[in-house]
Structure 1
Amino acid sequence: MVRETTRRRFLTATGATVATTGIVGTASGAGRGTSERKPDPTRYAAFNVIELETEQVQEPGDEQAEAAARIVQEVRPDVLVINELTNNMQEGKRTDRTNIDAFVENYLSVPQRDDLEGIDYPHTLQPESNTGVLPDEEYDFNKDGEAGQRPGDAFGFGVYPGHYAFAIASRHPIEENRIRSFQEFRWDDMPNNLIVTEEEADDDAELYLTPEERDVYRLSSKTHIDVPIDVDGDVVHGLFAHPTPPGFDGSENFNGQWNHDEVRFFADYVAGAEYIYDDSGETGGIADDASYVLMGDMNAGPRTDRPLDPATKYLFDNDDFNTRRLPTSPGGAQRGNPYATRFGGDFEGVVEQIDYVLPSPDLSLQGSSVVWPSRNASKRGLGDDVSTASDHRLVWADIDA
């Protein structure tokens, strides 16, 4: 059962306020933490560094990793999630240290330009991902006639285990004994889910699940995870996920409906849905009085022309997330969408708003931005870095507890 009163409605009813003074455009973190200022808010950032793999981060000198590190060193986030960073422990390569630790040691902690400073992240987490992970028994999830084959028959699309995973780096302690992961949560256990079933599939359907497949198929294409972070004595829950892209299927819209329910999951979680269970067996959603920040590439933009619109339904029209003031950039504005966080990629010319840093309504949003300079900007070469690092742009928000 979901709570009837959302957090934001409660705050409104009790007279609490939410600060939404914004900072737009590309901004540097220079000068943060000086003695002449009041204590800085915590800066949270989400960055999809497209398909950053083990060989790139385990040794210094990779062009893409260096460009991504320069952007991070400009912004200087306190809490950072990197989407599409391979989980090398699952992959089985270079297992003496995680890829997130290698990225911190080889790139983020080392100044990537003369005018930049390195950043040390003493607390890191590299959750296991469903990408490339095959079930114990063989299933033909992608209906190509061959069961048990990667990438299409894995729980999440991946050429190998841990492909397209994500990782978290934090300057604040992570309360590891309170982490809740939902990697193994079954899609069929979500009430009113949008699974394309064998019974519903027509002759033209490319993807659907048989009754046997529904018994094992997982909701999360990577993982959903709640990571409590101790921010100067206050606990803020980082809610991290990377739902599957809503495409690459047929008229049945299997991936679009999967994406819809992946986005829905954390909306249900913060509303206290009782159907939820984590990988340790604990049931229910987040505590009523918890503070949280949703972070990552949701692969869902608001008010798009897709048949489903989970971003509007579960994020923008949901009082449990503060979306009243959203980050913008000059680069996105020049391309027709100041809120955009992704450009080009597999869909040349597409400009999308799909990466988010969204606080709970009890937290105070002080400012935010998308790091995307205008075409004619020449600020220390950052324009070249954003295109070298990824087709996504880093998104950050300054948030007070």
Structure 2
Amino acid sequence: MALVTASGAAVVAVGGAAAADPLPAAEGAIRFATFNAALTEDRPGGLLERLSGGGDAAARDVAEVIQRVRPDILVLQELDRDAAGRSLALFRDEYLARPQGGAAPIAYPHALFPESNTGEPSGVDLDGDGVAGGPSDAKGFGRHPGQYAFAVLSRLPLGGAATFRNLLWRDVPDGLMPLSHYSEAAQAVLPLSSKTHLAVTVETARGPILLLAAHPTPPVFDDPDIDWNGRRNADEIRLLVDLLPGELPAYVVPDEGALGARPAHAVVLGDLNADPTRGDARPGAIARLIDDPRIQDVVPTSANGDITADFNGGMRVDYVLPTAGLEVTGSGVFWPATGDPLARLNATSDHHLVFVDVRLP
């Protein structure tokens, strides 16, 4: 895991507000957001080539959405990660730092771009095809290491951070891993997290807030002989629950060192690939999180209701969930209505940016 810190450039207002632009956060409130931007390529280095020079149309649209919503802390998902983290640097410097579509540039001087299990070879035949190689034999599905990774961008300082990329699925007590399907060799290398789970402290003027981020695997598998039904997805969501403020279960061990003291207040963010009532998620998987008494299920909406993604007839899979002690002052899904000039941004990704504004008591 690498923490990237850089001095931010001054932000100069460009153009006027558009009809779909969210109102600024209330005084003293912090805007947390998550956005699956779909900035990914199947070929290693493909995204770097696209981003270089600042001319990629899709990346410019992603940057414009961010510039219009102006989150203070953003979990940006599906951003391919190269070993040096250049893709994030390119996106910040050549897209976010430049005006897009009449929106003002935005600077994020603090960032995290943790390593991802996606595309990372396991060395074991996980999918049972007799060959130990390929996307389905990676620790998390991906055609090259770092595909579908995620980053955290922050206008506020970031404190201590921990990842849980190496936590083995088999070590989850009463977990849903189908042990009869996986060999001992597979059980010894397959992690719970398909990308990674991240816990990092956001330092605010009123005190620290714990940010918990993840991108669990979609709850769909191709093997009809096993009742998969979102087993890994459900256990990945369970880890987020177990990372909430309170007593930490013994199995929750970070990749490096000890987790240490955690703030009393937290926000969970990410494309969790689970809808409460629709789709293929395991029954109760997301309810375990959103119904936890420590969580406020704010349910941000747009003109299209509570859905946050376009596929399967519309799904709620992207979440920003503050803990109960935080005051919620605003929320929304950036999904301009048909006829709004900014509706041109709706095709940027099959997900839409979700935000919640919170204020420490």
Task: Provide the TM-score with structure 2 as the length reference.
Answer: 0.87
Matched, 1:143 2:128: yes
Task: Give yes or no for the alignment of 1:122 onto 2:109.
Answer: yes
* Counterpart Cα distance in 2 of 1:274 and 1:396: 32
Matched, 1:221 2:194: yes
Report which of the two structures shows the higher radius of gyration computed on alpha carbons. 1
SS of corresponding position for 1:99: helix
2:358 paired with 1:383: no
CA distance in 2, matches of 1:27, 1:385: 11
Q: Distance in 2 between matches of 1:399 and 1:98?
A: 31
Deviation at 1:27, TM superposition (A): 5.0
What is the DSSP-based 3-state SS (H/G/I as helix, E as strand, rest coil) of the residue aligned with 1:88? coil
Shift in alpha-carbon separation, 1:159–1:236, aligned structure 2, 3 A: same
Q: Which of the numbers 140, 156, 179 marks the counterpart of 1:197?
A: 179
Q: 2:252 aligns with which of 257, 276, 280?
A: 276
Residue 397 of structure 1 aligns to a residue whose secondary structure is strand
Q: How does 1:22-171 map to 2 (within 5 A)?
A: 27-29=20-22, 32=24, 39-52=27-40, 53-89=47-83, 95=84, 98-114=86-102, 116-135=103-122, 138-147=123-132, 149-171=133-155
DSSP 3-state at the match of 2:243: helix
Supply the distance in 2 between the matched residues of 1:371 and 1:399 (Cα, whole angstroms). 17
For 1:253 and 1:383, how far apart are their aligned partners in 2?
40
- Cα 1:58–1:173 change in 2 (3 A) is farther
> What are the Cα deviations for residues 176-204 of structure 1, in whole angstroms up to 9, with x where unaligned?
xx211101001111100001122xxxxxx
SS of structure 2 residue aligned to 1:264: helix
Q: Distance in 2 between matches of 1:373 and 1:307?
A: 27
How many residues are paired up? 333
Following TM superposition, by how much is the alpha carbon of 1:312 offset from its aligned partner in structure 2, in angstroms? Answer: 4.0
Mapped partners of 2:333, 2:227: distance in 1: 30
Q: Secondary structure at the match of 2:242?
A: helix
- The answer to whether the aligner puts 1:397 opposite 2:360 as a matched pair is no
Instruction: Note the C-alpha offset of 1:303.
Output: 2.3
> In 2, distance between residues paired with 1:232 and 1:311?
35
Structure 1 equivalent of residue 335 of structure 2: 372
Question: For 2:113 and 2:284, how far apart are their aligned partners in 1?
Answer: 27
SS at match of 2:135: coil
Q: Give the whole-Å Cα distance in 2 for the aligned partners of 1:305 and 1:396.
A: 23
The letter of the residue matching 1:190 is V
**Structure 1 residue ranges (4+ consecutive) displaced by more than 4 angstroms after TM superposition:** none
The 5-angstrom pairing of residues 311-322 of structure 1 reads 311-322=285-296
Give 1:202's aligned residue: none
Report the counterpart of residue 16 of structure 2 in structure 1.
none
Q: What's the counterpart of residue 231 of structure 1?
A: 204
Task: Give the distance between the partners of 1:43 and 1:231, measured in 2 at CA.
Answer: 12
The answer to whether the 8 Å contact 1:98/1:126 transfers is no
Deviations 1:61-117 (A, max 9, x none): 11101111111111001101110000112xxxxx4x532221111111111023x21
Partner of 1:368: helix, strand, or coil?
strand
Q: Does 1:180 align with 2:162?
A: yes
Name the amino acid aligned to 2:209: V
Pairwise CA RMSD = 2.0
The alpha-carbon deviation at position 369 of structure 1 amounts to 0.3
CA distance in 2, matches of 1:250, 1:374: 39
Name the CA distance, whole Å, in 1 between partners of 2:78 and 2:273: 13
Unaligned runs of 5+ in 2: 1-18, 41-46
Partner SS for 2:152:
strand
Identity among equivalent pairs (%): 36
The answer to whether the Cα contact below 8 Å between 1:112 and 1:118 also exists between their aligned partners in 2 is yes
Q: Which structure 1 residue ranges, 5 or more long, are not aligned?
A: 1-25, 90-94, 199-207, 333-337
Offset, 1:283: 6.3
Q: How far, CA to CA, are the matches of 1:194 and 1:279 in structure 2? A: 22
Q: Aligned-pair distance for 1:125? A: 1.0
The letter for the 1-side match of 2:144 is Y
Residue 315 of structure 2 is matched in structure 1 by 352
How many Å apart are 1:274 and its aligned residue? Answer: 2.4
User: Is residue 249–residue 255 contact of structure 1 (8 Å, CA) maintained in 2?
Assistant: no
Q: CA deviation at 1:311?
A: 4.3
Query: Which of 307, 330, 350 in structure 2 is aligned with 1:340?
Result: 307
Q: CA deviation at 1:156?
A: 0.3
1:217 to partner: Cα distance: 1.1
Question: For 2:229 and 2:142, how far apart are their aligned partners in 1?
Answer: 15
Counterpart contact for 2:198–2:212, Cα < 8 Å: yes
1:13 matched residue in structure 2: none
